[in-house]
């Protein structure tokens, strides 16, 4: 076993965040290479470096510090945080860094991942954030596209979904994207959610009209320990119903934030797929930058093996 002590960088300093929050940051040293040398004195041969500033802004503001850690300590250095292009990978490896860690970009851009692995081999690794057994992935920055407020449009949507618009629940549908746009459609109860029976042809036409993937229906009438229950319909893309939809639940998290149902930071437990007898638990989290007010959302789930076999080529 190889133990990798870690150095997190922000504004060229060694820091630690409390539960990933940038507004709760502790500075441990103004000289990160010195920290690496101390690790080496205590027997470490490897060090894990995270550019928190880079992760936040998608750049390499601490590049010189990372290089200084490598040059002064001589340790095996792997670095991650904000690595979203081959140019950045090349920049680190050309500078002598031993391994570059890809994050969300590896999931969002398969061509990028494949190209990096083909070119750099074992100098590339993919990192995953895990919380309580759930692999968490960053969503694209959330965008509120529109609010549905016209009564004719509202009645039409709910009629297509096999329900009725109920103004008394105090929530209206929003069009939101955290990578893919969907209509967030609230309903009053789990029973109403279970009874939804969309006209798939009309829903497909409606989705094309609004330029969305589909409808993500949900209710806050939830079981104990659950934030909400939901169902996802995307017949425009030949998906009548889906059992687990990461981007849609990221958008739902933002919806609940916008409507005041949750406050950042928050962690949500969402259940989807019950109507398909394939219940899935999706965990989401939302944080807010205290300086800019920018919101970040992560979505995670557990993998389940449905079948195993061999492919002979």
Positions marked catalytic: 8, 129
Angle between helices 110-120 and 86-94 (to 10 degrees): 20
- How many whole angstroms separate alpha carbon 87 and alpha carbon 109? 15
Give the burial class of 152: count Cβ atoms within 10 A of its Cβ; 0-12 exposed, 13-18 middle, 19 or more buried: exposed
What count of residues does the chain have? Answer: 313
Both tokens of residue 307? 């079948």
Q: Are 140 and 178 in contact (CB under 8 A)?
A: yes
Q: Are 271 and 226 in contact (CB under 8 A)?
A: yes
Both tokens of residue 163? 């329900």
SS3 state at 195: coil
- How many whole angstroms separate alpha carbon 220 and alpha carbon 260? 13
SS3 state at 187: coil
């Amino acid at each position: 076993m190889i133990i990798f002590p870690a150095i997190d960088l922000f504004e060229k300093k060694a820091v630690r965040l409390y539960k990933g929050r940038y507004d709760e940051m502790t500075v441990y040293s103004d000289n990160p290479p010195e920290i690496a040398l101390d690790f080496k004195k205590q027997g470490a041969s490897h060090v894990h470096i995270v550019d928190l500033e880079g992760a936040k802004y998608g750049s390499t503001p601490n590049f010189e510090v990372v290089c200084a850690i490598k040059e002064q300590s001589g340790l095996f250095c792997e670095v991650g945080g904000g690595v979203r292009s081959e140019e950045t990978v090349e920049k680190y490896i050309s500078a002598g860094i031993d391994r570059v860690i890809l994050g969300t970009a590896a999931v969002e851009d398969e061509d990028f991942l494949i190209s990096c692995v083909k070119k750099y081999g074992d100098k590339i690794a993919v990192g995953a954030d895990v919380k309580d057994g759930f692999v968490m992935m960053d969503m694209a920055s959330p965008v509120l596209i529109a609010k549905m407020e016209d009564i004719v449009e509202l009645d039409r949507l709910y009629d297509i979904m096999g329900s009725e618009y109920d103004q008394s629940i105090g929530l209206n549908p929003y069009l939101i994207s955290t990578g893919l746009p969907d209509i967030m459609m609230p309903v009053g109860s789990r029973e109403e959610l279970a009874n939804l029976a969309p006209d798939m042809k009309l829903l497909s036409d409606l989705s094309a009209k609004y330029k969305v993937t589909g409808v993500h229906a949900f209710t806050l009438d939830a079981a104990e320990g659950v934030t909400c229950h939901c169902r996802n319909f995307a017949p425009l893309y030949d998906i009548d119903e889906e059992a687990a939809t990461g981007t849609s639940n990221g958008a739902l998290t933002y919806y609940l934030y916008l409507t005041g149902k949750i406050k950042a930071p928050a962690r949500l437990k969402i259940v989807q797929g019950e109507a398909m007898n394939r219940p899935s638990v999706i965990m989401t989290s939302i944080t807010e930058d205290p300086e800019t007010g920018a919101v970040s959302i992560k979505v995670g789930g557990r993998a389940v093996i449905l079948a195993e076999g061999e492919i002979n080529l």
